[in-house]
Structure 1
Amino acid sequence: MGSCVSKGKGDDDSVHNVEFSGGNVHLITTKESWDEKLAEAGRDGKIVVANFSATWCGPCKIVAPYFIELSEKHPSLMFLLVDVDELSDFSSSWDIKATPTFFFLKNGQQIGKLVGANKPELQKKVTSIIDSVPESPQRSS
Structure 2
Amino acid sequence: MGNCFTKEHDDVDGSDHKVDFTGGNVHLITTKEAWEQKLDEAKRDGKLVVANFSAAWCGPCRVIAPFYVELSEKHPSIMCLTVDVDELTEFSTSWDIKATPTFFFLKDGQQIDKLVGANKPELEKKLIAVLDSVAPPCQT
Normalised by the length of structure 2, the TM-score is 0.92
Aligned counterpart, 2:53: 52
Aligned counterpart, 1:139: none
In structure 1, list runs of 5 or more residues that go unmatched.
Answer: 137-141
Question: How does 1:1-141 map onto structure 2 within 5 Å?
Answer: 1-7=1-7, 11-12=10-11, 14=14, 15-135=16-136
In structure 2, list runs of 5 or more residues that go unmatched.
Answer: none
Q: Deviations over 1:23-63 (max 9, x none)?
A: 00000000000000000111111110000000000000000
Q: Deviations over 1:104-134 (max 9, x none)?
A: 0011100000000000000000111111122
Q: What is the distance in 2 between the residues matched to 1:24 and 1:135?
A: 23
Counterpart AA for 1:89: E
* Structure 1 consecutive aligned stretches of length 4 or more whose deviation exceeds 6 Å: none
Q: What is the distance in 2 between the residues matched to 1:53 and 1:61?
A: 9
Identity of aligned residues (%): 70
Secondary structure of the 2:72 match is helix
Q: What is the distance in 2 between the residues matched to 1:51 and 1:12?
A: 23
> Deviation of residue 12 (structure 1)?
1.8
Q: Deviations over 1:70-90 (max 9, x none)?
A: 000000000000000000000
Q: What is the distance in 2 between the residues matched to 1:41 and 1:6?
A: 31
Q: What is the distance in 1 between the residues matched to 2:105 and 2:55?
A: 18
Secondary structure of the 2:65 match is helix
Counterpart AA for 1:18: V
Counterpart AA for 1:5: F
> Deviation of residue 6 (structure 1)?
2.5
Matched-pair contact (CA < 8 Å) for 2:7–2:58: no
Secondary structure of the 1:7 match is coil
Secondary structure of the 1:127 match is helix
Secondary structure of the 1:48 match is strand
> Deviation of residue 17 (structure 1)?
2.1
Normalised by the length of structure 1, the TM-score is 0.91
